[in-house]
Amino acid sequence: MSNRIKRLDNRGSALLTVVLVVTFLTILATILMYISGLNFQIKEADYRNKKSFYEGEKGTEAIKVELMKDVSDAAFRANQDLSINFANITSADTRKVEYNKYFVGRLQEVFDDKLLAYGGSWNALLASYMPNSTDYVLTMDLSYDADGNGVLTSNEVLEVNETSGSIILRGVSVKYTNPKYKLVTKISTDFRITAPAFDWSDAVSRTTLETGVSLDEAKTKDMISPADCVIYTEWKKE
């Protein structure tokens, strides 16, 4: 009888061990499934945020591309302006300074010509540069709105430096709402626009004068990229 009881006790102990092992494995599997699910959710959220951000960037990139076109137009006009007095300017530094002034002036003219169609409003002009989609909304920093009428003009948003040949377009913000995920990305930035860094050395001057090559042709050979002339500054994502 005693031996039988011992055998029964052993079987009960083995059964308890099996139950404990199964319970442990079940808990472990549940934890692993939870971690896997959580990891998937994190990756999915990260994917959605990145997709929304990259789509949002298309708004500011579209503005940059249009500004690059404006730079090309202004650079061409400035080259023509300088070619009139090019032979009389013997200093490379002076040529550079004069070209920077011409470039800044011509770029402002390009902007003014375009602004005529939008009542002088930079808000409306830059909005026309962006993708044709209601998912994008352009706003501008109204702290530059001196007269408080909600319409930002060139005198208010452009920081001009003729000597360095630069113009800073200030306070531009693009808000993008992802229609699928309903995520909102807002990118705020200034655009710094600089004159092309042409070679104004004496060698270029002599070659141009002796060969009769126009200044436009000589400068075109420098193969500058408008992308180098338009950069983001004070960039931030909200």
pLDDT tens by residue, 142-182: 888 887 777 788 889 999 999 999 999 999 999 999 888 88
Q: Are 100 and 195 in contact (CB under 8 A)?
A: yes
For residue 170, the model assigns a pLDDT of 95
Q: Are 96 and 197 in contact (CB under 8 A)?
A: no
Residue 106 and residue 123: Cα distance in Å, rounded?
A: 21
Give the CA distances from residue 52 to residues 27, 39, 44, 181, in Å, rounded to whole numbers and listed in that order: 37, 20, 12, 8
* Segment 50-92, tens digit of pLDDT: 878 788 899 999 999 999 999 999 998 998 888 887 778 878 8
Q: Has residue 14 got a pLDDT over 70?
A: no
Tell me the two tokens of residue 145: 């709105």
Contacting residues for 111 by C-beta, under 8 A, at least 6 apart: 70, 125, 154, 158
Q: How confident is the model at residue 24 (pLDDT cuts 50, 70, 90)?
A: confident
* Segment 177-206, tens digit of pLDDT: 988 888 889 999 999 999 988 877 765 554
Please indicate whether residue 214 or residue 60 has the higher confidence score (pLDDT).
60
Kind plus residue range of the DSSP H or E element containing 51: helix 2-85
pTM as predicted: 0.76
* Segment 103-146, tens digit of pLDDT: 999 999 999 999 999 988 899 999 999 888 788 999 988 888 88
Q: How confident is the model at residue 10 (pLDDT cuts 50, 70, 90)?
A: low
